[in-house]
């Protein structure tokens, strides 16, 4: 048995014996890892080959979030998926002219073009026998899976957004006010620290003056010296 036929047989045996979706995809992932960079010629698109590989073997290497987006944001229901390979140098709007192929838990095979999932085959057997149908038998655009909001829900969302905006503006206002108050308090504190020594000096001068020239009387008034008034007396 040739290597190419052996690889196809491993994939198809796994597909035909699938019972649990999670286990099925785990087994597929192992086969992909085992035969990474092997190439399977496809009937369609003509002259193209499926280069077997996982997410790390595509232009999306390291972008685990992208895989989660494929699972969550395209199909009507969330579906587990694994990357099974790519079609390189494929002239389309896909990043790097690379059409990434994904196998879904329901057995369908999808190809990712910029913000669109194309249903290119109904099974791995269909893919190996008839090739990848592109544009897809069905197309699923990013975000279309989310149900449209009713008018009432839209109104609630708008009200929520308006309230949130008001809350944000109020928070920013209070924040600015708090900053201004802190700056004022700081300025007052600095001003007091500058003025206080002068007050101390003035009080000392006053004590010296009254201590030398004033004598306390019974009614606690100071007897000021009568300088220059002798002729009047």
Residue 153 confidence (pLDDT) above 60:
no
Please state the domain extents for the chain: 3-141, 149-197
Rounded Cα distance between 21 and 40, Å, is: 24
- What spatial distance separates the first Cα and last Cα of the chain, rounded to whole Å? 143
pLDDT in tens, 20-55: 888 999 999 999 999 999 999 999 999 999 999 999
Rounded Cα distance between 86 and 60, Å, is: 11
Residue 231 confidence (pLDDT) above 80:
no
Rounded Cα distance between 77 and 175, Å, is: 44
Residue 185 confidence (pLDDT) above 50:
yes
Helix (H) / strand (E) element for 141: namely strand 138-141
Rounded Cα distance between 38 and 56, Å, is: 15
Per-residue tokens: 142: 């990013």
Say if residues 5 and 91 touch (Cβ distance below 8 Å). no
pLDDT in tens, 210-220: 444 444 444 44
**Closest C-alpha among 84, 83, 8, 88 to residue 48:** 88
What pLDDT band is residue 199 in, cutting at 50, 70 and 90? low
Per-residue tokens: 217: 């009387």
């Amino acid at each position: 048995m040739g290597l190419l036929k052996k690889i196809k047989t491993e994939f198809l045996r796994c597909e035909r014996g699938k019972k649990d979706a999670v286990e099925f995809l785990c087994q597929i992932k192992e086969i992909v890892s085992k035969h990474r960079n092997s190439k399977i010629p496809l009937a369609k698109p003509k002259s193209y080959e499926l280069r077997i590989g996982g997410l790390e073997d595509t232009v999306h290497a390291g972008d685990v979030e992208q895989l989660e987006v494929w699972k969550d944001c395209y199909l009507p229901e969330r579906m587990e998926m694994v990357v099974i390979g790519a079609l390189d140098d494929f002239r389309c709007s896909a990043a790097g002219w690379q059409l990434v192929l994904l196998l879904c838990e329901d057995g369908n095979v999808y190809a990712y073009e910029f913000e669109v999932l194309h249903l290119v085959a109904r099974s791995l057997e269909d893919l190996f026998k008839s090739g990848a149908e592109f544009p897809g038998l069905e197309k699923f655009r990013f975000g279309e899976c989310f149900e449209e909001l009713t008018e009432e829900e839209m109104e609630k969302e708008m009200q929520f957004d308006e309230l949130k905006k008001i809350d944000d503006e109020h928070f920013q206002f209070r924040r600015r006010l708090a900053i201004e108050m802190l700056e004022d308090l700081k300025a007052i504190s600095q001003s007091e620290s500058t003025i206080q020594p002068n007050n101390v000096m003035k009080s000392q001068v006053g004590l010296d003056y009254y201590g030398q020239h004033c004598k306390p009387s019974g009614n606690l008034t100071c007897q000021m010296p009568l300088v220059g008034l002798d002729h009047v007396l």
